[in-house]
Amino acid sequence: MSTRTVLQEADISRALTRIAHEILEANRGPDDLVLLGIPTRGVYLARRLAALIERFGGAPVATGALDVTMYRDDLAHQPTRAPRPTEIPDGGVDGRVIVLVDDVLFSGRSIGAALDALKDIGRPAAVRLAILVDRGHRELPIRPDFVGKNLPSARTERVNVRLTEIDGADEVTIEAAR
């Protein structure tokens, strides 16, 4: 099996810095922002983005986690996965600008599930999407607002995101089909 590295630690850091600036610009500052990471790696990316936005925007940004496991439409086809806790920051989501954060956007099904989960929690003023890697192949009409890297790939390839907090290193790799 052939694996190639497409993003290294410095590339991921630059991408997140750019995304943080884009979020601040689109929102005209850090006010009323809430970053909700989709477990697992989206949670850590949301925390990193929040730290960058606070550094550049001068104010803290609320972060949390939005588990989508029970909202997925492919549970019968996927290996069993234990739900993770959903953590909504104080103040909730009503009337606030929510930025959903995930590591890889592929079919769009996880984000569709996240939108369904968010509807059960409250009514945001707006929902935006920040993705580290967009690999295309959408099955749902979902498009990210903020993208670290567009990475065209074959459906049969696997894109792996590794983050220091979980995996001990920051990198994005593509594994060729077996």
* Domain chopping of the chain, boundaries: 10-71+85-154
Contact, 144 vs 135, CB < 8 A? no
3-state secondary structure of 159: strand
Residues β-bridged to residue 100: 36, 129
pTM of the predicted model, to two decimals?
0.94
The CA-based angle 110-176-137, given to 5 degrees, is 35
Q: What's the pLDDT at 83?
A: 76
The pLDDT of residue 175 is 94
Q: Does the structure show a pLDDT above 70 at 79?
A: no
Helices (H) and strands (E) in the chain, counts: 4, 8
Q: Backbone phi, then psi, for 110, in 5-degree steps? A: -65, -40
**Residue 41 confidence (pLDDT) above 80:** yes
Domain made up of 10-71+85-154: CATH architecture: 3-Layer(aba) Sandwich (3.40)
Contact, 36 vs 67, CB < 8 A?
no
Helix axes 41-57, 9-27, angle to 10 degrees: 60
- Give pLDDT tens digits for 137-175: 999 999 999 999 999 899 999 999 999 999 999 999 999
